[in-house]
Amino acid sequence: MVSDFYIPDLDYHNEAAQIDAATSPWIEGYVEGPYGGIPRLRTTLDQKDKLGAAKVRLGIGRDDYIVPPGLYAVGNPDKGSPVLVTANYKLTVDILRSSLAGVDAWVVAVDSKGINVWCAAGKGTFGTYEVIKKLKELKLKELVSHRTVILPQLAASGVAAYQVLRNSGFKAVFGPVRAADVREFLRSGLKATEEMRTVRFGAASRLLLTPVELVHNLKWMLIMLAAMIVYSLFTTGFSDVNTALATAWAGYLPLITAIITSCVLVPLLLPYIPFRAFAAKGLVVGLVLDVLVVTFRENISLLANSWLLLTAYCILIPAITTLLSLNFTGSTTYTSFSGVKKETEAALPLARIAIGLSIALAVISLVL
């Protein structure tokens, strides 16, 4: 059978070997390979690694958090040691190496363009071709005497194990979903339990995703604040700026609450909010906020004085929570393309109309 993935034998090429251990604290010296030094991954994380992780969790420098692709060592591996394949996103490599204390293994980082395993597999940068190419380029057959490589299970949407075997001679075994289980997987003779094979999305993972949601919406928070200040200046007049700012701030609170609720509370309470569709979950939360806004309208002078503006808020707030909740679909582990497409097509036009209508009402309330 002719294969789509045929790659001829390649000359040895290991970008990782060019790393200078002196300036890269995550590298702990080198081990000798048949074609020269192979950098050894440190199995502990230092302050800089933790700071880097915190930054990318906030969405800072996420696209440039990369390690050179190629071959690495962990511990003191030899010809019989297992080969673990991973992505070249630094956060991924950090999670893997910090799970491998006391393990002797080889690590092959494919060139996933600095993207994590699951997303890269979906996008095709962590794919069958790239894996086979790396195994050939690193002359793996001369490094180890066995013919097995271990792939992260979540690479399976990009990597076809039977194709890797056919074209590289290496049996590709899918390991556990989480790096934390790799050690147990190795110890048990490459047996993954159901637990190891299942993707979870617990409260801790959901919490970890909230900072980046907030950062991504900073722009909208500022635009809304600016809009509120302008609105208040027109309402209270330009002579008393302090009053205008205080009025704006009070009027801004329901809006910023809608954004923060959608970015933090919706992810955290996700399975407990009624309905399956994220847009519907967001709508529920928005309507609850509407009830609060109507209840406390006397405390917000802009709303106390204008039924039109109050109506605008009650339309805008559910639109915000619906859109931002829908936005969170991409961060979860359990949404399908068909499902998200269905709810996006249903909710997006309505949310757009709602936003347009609320802006129109707000402008009319200024004129009247």
Partner 1 sequence: MKHKYIRNVVTLKLDQERCKGCSSCIQVCPHRIFVVQDKKAHILDKDSCIECGACMNNCPFGAIEVEVGVGCAIAIINGAKNGSEPCC
Residue among 276, 295, 367, 368 that touches partner 1 (CB under 8 A): 276
Q: Does 333 bind partner 1 (CB under 8 A)?
A: yes
DSSP tag of 42? P
Find, among 80, 190, 68, the residue nearest to 143 by Cα.
80
Binding range to partner 1, per CB under 8 A, among 20-28, 74-82, 249-257, 270-278? 270-278
170 binds partner 1 (CB under 8 A): no
Q: How far is the CB of 169 from partner 1 (least distance, A)?
A: 17
CB closer to partner 1, 38 vs 117: 117
**Is there binding between residue 338 and partner 1 (CB under 8 A)?**
yes
From 58, 160, 256, 260, residue interacting with partner 1 (rule: CB under 8 A)? 160
CB 120 within 8 A of CB 152: no
CA-CA distance, 233 to 217, in Å (whole number)? Answer: 25
234 binds partner 1 (CB under 8 A): no
Closer by beta carbon to partner 1, 70 or else 82: 82
Instruction: Render the burial of 220-234: b for 16+ CB within 10 Å, e for the rest.
Output: ebeebbebbbebbbe
Q: What angle do CA 15, 18, 20 make, to 5 degrees?
A: 140
Separation CA 91–CA 342 (nearest Å): 33
Query: Which parts of 97-126 interact with partner 1 (CB under 8 A)?
Result: 119, 121-122
Question: Distance between CA 317 and CA 137 in Å, rounded?
Answer: 55
- Binding to partner 1 by residue 352, rule CB under 8 A? no
Q: Phi first, then psi: what are they for 145, rounded to 5°? A: -90, -20
How many chain residues bind partner 1 (CB under 8 A)? 44
Residue 196 or 362 having the CB closest to partner 1: 196
- What is the DSSP secondary structure assignment for residue 66, as one 8-state letter? B
Residues contacting 229, CB < 8 A, separation 6+: 244, 245, 248
Q: How far is the CB of 355 from partner 1 (least distance, A)?
A: 14
Cβ of 336: how many Cβ atoms within 10 Å?
A: 9
Q: What is the nearest approach in angstroms of partner 1 to the Cβ of residue 310? A: 29
Near partner 1 by CB under 8 A: residue from 40, 71, 343, 358 = 343
Residue 204 near partner 1 by CB under 8 A: no
Q: Which of residues 301-330 bind partner 1 (CB under 8 A)?
A: 326-327, 329-330
Q: Give yes or no for a contact between 146 and 80, defined as CB atoms under 8 angstroms apart.
A: yes
Cα–Cα distance, 11 to 341 (Å, whole number) = 45
Site string for partner 1, 20-59 (x = CB under 8 A): ----------------------------------------
**Interface contacts to partner 1, rule CB under 8 A:** 119, 121-122, 153-154, 156-162, 174, 177, 192, 194, 197-199, 201, 270-272, 276-278, 326-327, 329-330, 332-344, 348
